Amino acid sequence: MAIAQIIIVGSEILSGIVAEKNSCKLIKSLNELGFHIEKVSLINDDCQLLKKELDNSLATADVVIISGGLGPTKDDITKDTIIKHFSLRTFIDETILAKIENYYKNLKKPMPEYAIKQALIPKKAIILENPIGFAPGLIIKKGKKIIILLPGVFEELKTIWENSVVPFLEDSFRLKPNFYKTIRTIGITESEIMVKIEEIFKKQFKDIQILYLPSHLGVDLTIIGKDKKEVNLCEKEINLLLKDYIYGYDNISLEEVIGELLRKKNLTLATAESCTGGLLGHRITDVPGSSDYYVGGVIAYSNEIKKLICKVKEETLKNYGAISKETALEMAKGIKNYYQTDIGLSTTGVAGPTTSEKKPVGLVYLGLAYGQKLIVEKHLFLGTRRMIKEQACQMALNLLRKTLENG
C-alpha cells in the first residue's frame, strides 16, 4: 500500500483569515487513486517547522504533498526551504519568467524584483504547468520518495493536480483504486439511516466503508470499496432501503434534479418567496439552462406585494396571517397565474431571530400549485436565520421533486 501525507503551509490559515479547503480536494483524490493517507498537517510559514514536518513525513510516506508557500513574497517559504534543506541547485526558467514579464508589460507596470522568485526552479525537478497563475507546481524525487509542491490558491492547485499530478501518480504507482458512490438524502437523520441499513452490513459488505456527512440540508452517504461490483451492489441495497429519501447521487444538487425533471416533462415554474428572500430563485437559476423552465419569481416580502402580485386575499391575511398554510397556497396559485406557468412554488415563514405574528422562529409553510393540485407543507426548522432560509429552500425544492416524480 502506498502511503501519502499532506502538509498545508500558511499562517493566514492558522490565523483564521483564510478557510483551508485544499486538503479536502487532495484527500478525496488520493483515496480514489488508492493511496493510504496517513496524516494531514497544517503549519505556519516557518522554515524550521516545515523542515521538521517534511523529514517526519518522508520517514514513513511514499509521497508528500505540500500546498502553499510558492509565491513571490517573504512569507512564501516552501520552495526556498526545500532548496536549502536538500542543497538543490537551481536555475531561472525562461518560459515562466517570460510569462511574468508579459503580464506586467500588459499592465504597463515594471515587474517587481520579487516576482522573479516564482521562476526559480530546482534542477531535475519536474515542472507542472500552472495555466492560471505564475508559480508552477513541482515534483522533486529524493530516492524512492516523491515530494510534490503545489500553490496554495485552490483553483491553481486543483488545475495542476488534475492536469499533471494525477496522471503522474497513476503512472508511477499503478495502484488499485478505491471506488466511490455518494447517495444524497433528505428528510431523514443519520441515526435513522443507520437503523435502516445496519442489518445488511451484518451479513455482507464487510470490505465496504460507509461515511456519513450530515448537514442541516440532508445526509450524504459515501460508499467506499476496492471492488467496483461490490460498491454497486451495496448502492442498490441502500437504494431499496432509503428510496423514499434519496434525491440524487454523487455531486448532483437538488436544483439540478428538479431542472432535469421540469425539462423532461416540458413544464414551467415560477416562485413567490417571502421568508427566503430570493434564495430559492437564486438556487434554481444557478443551474445552466434554467431559463428553459424557470420563467421568473417575486420576493413577496410585504403583505402589499403578496396582495398585489400573488393575489393573496385581504381576509386570508387578516384571518390566518402571512405565515399560514392558507397564504402559502394563495401565493403559489397566484404566482402561477401571474406568470402563466405550469407550476407555482411559494415560501412564507419566520426566519428569525425574533418571532412574527406570535409564531415561532423556524415555522415555514411551503405552497405548490401544479395543474389542479394544491399542496402545502408545514415545517419547523432549527438553526440560524441563514440556516432556516436554506432549509426552507431545500424542502421547497424537495416538495417540487416529490410532486414531479409522483406524476
Q: What is the pLDDT of residues 215-224, one digit of tens each?
A: 999 999 999 9
Cβ-based neighbour number of residue 357 at 10 Å: 12
Shared-domain flag, residues 293 and 401: yes
Assign residue 23 the CATH number of its domain: 3.40.980.10
Assign residue 222 the CATH number of its domain: 3.30.70.2860
Supply the mean pLDDT for the chain: 96
Residue for grid cell 451479513 = 203
Please tell me the distance from the alpha carbon of residue 312 to that of residue 253, in angstroms, as a whole number: 32
What is the value of pTM for the model shown? 0.75
Residue for grid cell 488534475 = 162
Closest CA to 257 of 220, 223, 284: 284
Shared-domain flag, residues 222 and 369: no
Range of the domain at 217: 179-249
Residue 312, pLDDT > 90, answer: yes
Shared-domain flag, residues 83 and 132: yes
Tell me the average pLDDT across 143-167: 97
Residue 75, pLDDT > 80, answer: yes
Confidence category of residue 199, pLDDT binned at 50, 70, 90 = confident
The residue from 156, 173, 190 where one domain ends is 173
Calculate helix-pair angle for 47-60, 78-85, nearest 10 degrees. Answer: 70
323-351 pLDDT tens trace: 999 999 999 999 999 999 999 999 999 99
Residue 239, pLDDT > 80, answer: yes
Say what the pLDDT of residue 200 is. 86
Type of residue at 230: E
Contact 350, 364 (CB under 8 A): yes
Shared-domain flag, residues 74 and 188: no
Assign residue 395 the CATH number of its domain: 3.90.950.20
Shared-domain flag, residues 82 and 226: no
206-216 pLDDT tens trace: 889 899 999 99
The residue from 199, 229, 249 where one domain ends is 249
Shared-domain flag, residues 70 and 188: no
Residues in the chain: 407
The residue from 150, 173, 196 where one domain ends is 173
Shared-domain flag, residues 219 and 311: no
Contact 66, 54 (CB under 8 A): yes
Please tell me the distance from the alpha carbon of residue 273 to that of residue 280, in angstroms, as a whole number: 7
Contact 397, 258 (CB under 8 A): yes
Shared-domain flag, residues 166 and 185: no
Shared-domain flag, residues 44 and 165: yes
Shared-domain flag, residues 258 and 291: yes
Residue for grid cell 514536518 = 53
Query: Per DSSP, what are the bridge partners of residue 335?
Result: none
State whether the Cα torsion 22-25-31-35 is positive or negative: negative
Distances (CA, A) of 110 to 46, 98, 104, 164, 265: 30, 13, 6, 32, 58
105-135 pLDDT tens trace: 999 999 999 999 999 999 999 999 999 999 9
Shared-domain flag, residues 216 and 284: no
Structural domain total, the chain? 3
157-176 pLDDT tens trace: 999 999 999 999 999 998 98
Q: Which three cell numbers stand for residue 262?
A: 421540469
Q: In this structure, which long-range contacts are made by residues 152-155, counting pairs with CB atoms below 8 Å and at least 24 apart in sequence?
A: 152/8, 152/9, 152/10, 152/22, 152/67, 152/68, 152/69, 152/70, 152/71, 154/21, 154/22, 154/25
Shared-domain flag, residues 221 and 285: no
